[in-house]
Amino acid sequence: MKPEIPLQWIKNEHALQNPRSSLAQELFPPGLPQRIRELHSEIPSYGMSPLKSLPALARRLGVGGIWVKDESARFSLNSFKVLGGSYAIYKKLLQRSQLTDENLTLHDLLNLDGELRKGLGSPIFATATDGNHGTGVAWAASKMGFRSIIYVHHRTTKDRIEGIKRNGGEVVIVDGNYDDAVRQVNDDARRNGWEVISDTSWRGYEDVPKWIMQGYSTMFVETQEQFAAQGIRRPTHLFVQAGVGSLAAAAIGYYSVLFEDNVPLSVVVEPTKAACLYKSMEINDGQPHNVTGELDTIMAGLACGEPNPLAWETLYNCADFFAICPDYVAAKAMRVYGMPLPGDPFIVSGESGAVTLGALMFAMEYDGARQLREELSLNRDSQVLLINSEGNTSPEEFRSVVWEGGMPVPEEFKIHYNA
C-alpha cells in the first residue's frame, strides 16, 4: 500500500481577494484582547508562556526565524485551552449575576464568598472534549468553587481522563467519536440544567464559543509583546493547527484585525483523517462541511469531524491556505522538538502541538511542496509563528512516538541531509 504524501494543500482564493471578516472585527475590537489578558493575569499562577526561537532549524530550512509559542507551560496544565475555558466561565457567571466586568473580576471569582456566592447560585459546567479543553474547564470551574462534568469519547486515553479528574472534573465516557460526545453532553445538559462550555457553535448557541475564541487572544497579546522585545513587529507567516477551528480562527482573526493592511500569510493544518475544514475548502461553497468515521489520528486534540461554524466564517474570509498531514508528520516534529539542533531549545510537544512544525519542515524540504513554499514566499526574510498547543498530555502515547519511534516517516519521504 502506497504511503500518504506528507503534505496536501488548497489555496483559499476567497481570502486572497481580501474580504473583511466582520466576525473577526467583532471578536477582537481594539482594547478587548488587552483587557482579557489583564483578567487572566489576575489568576495567581499566571505567567506568560515562553516564545521560543529555533534559529538553527530556521537556518537549515531557509527561513529567517521560527518562533514557537510554547503553551505546554500554561498554568502547569500542558495546554492553552484553559485560556478559553476560564474566560467563557467568567463571562457566563457575569451573565448569570447580571454584573459587568467592572463589577466582577476573575480575582473576585477566585475568592467567592457571602452574598456574591449566593447571587451566582450553583451552576454545573459541562463540556465535551478530546482532553485538553475538558481539563481547562475542569480546572477553571474547580478554582472558582463549581462542579464540572466532562464528556469524553471512548478512544480518549487513560492519561487524558486522569488529567481531567485530577483537575476537579467528573468524567462521562461516550461511545463514538468527539462529535458524538458533543451531542450527548448537550442533550444531558438540557435535561439537567447544566451550563455548557463548548468550543464549537450551533444555531442558538454562539456566545460561549465566541468567548472561548476571545479568551485565546491572551496568547497573541503576549506574543506581540515578546516579538517587540526581539525587535520584530509581527510574524510574516502563521502555521496554526485545527480541530473544530477555534484556535486557528482566533490566531488568524486576531492578526487580521491587528495588521489589517499587512496581514501575515496563514496556513491552517489538520490531520488527514479528520480534515473537516480542508473538506469545506475543497467543496468551496462558503459553508462548513463535516467528515465522519472514527477520525483515527494520533492528533487527539484535532480529531474533530464537524467545524465550528463561527470559526469557519473567519477562516473562509482570512486563512490563505488549508493543509492536511498524516500522523507521521506530527510524530517527526515531536522528535525534532525533543532533540533539537545545537543552539535551539528543547521543547516538549504532544501530537497536536507538533504538527505545524512538521508541516513547515515538509513545506520547505519536500520536493512536492515547491509550489506551496513559493506561493507563501517562505524565504530568509520570513518570521514564522507556530503554536505548541500542548505538551505531554498522554505519556504512554508520547513515549510510543518519541522513545519507540512510532509513526516513522516512510522511506520515500525521508529527508537525507548531508553530513
Contact 276, 289 (CB under 8 A): yes
Short-list 241, 230, 293, 292, CA closest to 267? 241
Q: Which of 69, 91, 92, 130 is catalytic?
A: 130
Question: Cα separation of 354 and 110, whole Å?
Answer: 33
Q: Which of 52, 69, 81, 332 is catalytic?
A: 81
Task: Give the number of other Cβ atoms within 10 Å of residue 354's Cβ.
Answer: 31
Short-list 146, 109, 113, CA closest to 127? 146
Write out the DSSP string of 221-278: HHHHHHHHHTT----SEEEEE-SSSHHHHHHHHHHHHHTTTSPPEEEEEEEGGG-HHH
Q: Which amino acid is at 327?
A: D
DSSP 202: B
DSSP 6: S
Q: What is the largest CA-CA distance in the chain?
A: 70
Question: Known catalytic residue: 81?
Answer: yes
End-to-end CA distance of the chain: 32
Task: Give the number of other Cβ atoms within 10 Å of residue 42's Cβ.
Answer: 13
DSSP 113: -
Question: Known catalytic residue: 91?
Answer: no
Sheet containing strand 147-153, strands side by side: 170-174, 147-153, 124-129, 195-196
- Please identify every residue annotated as catalytic: 81, 130
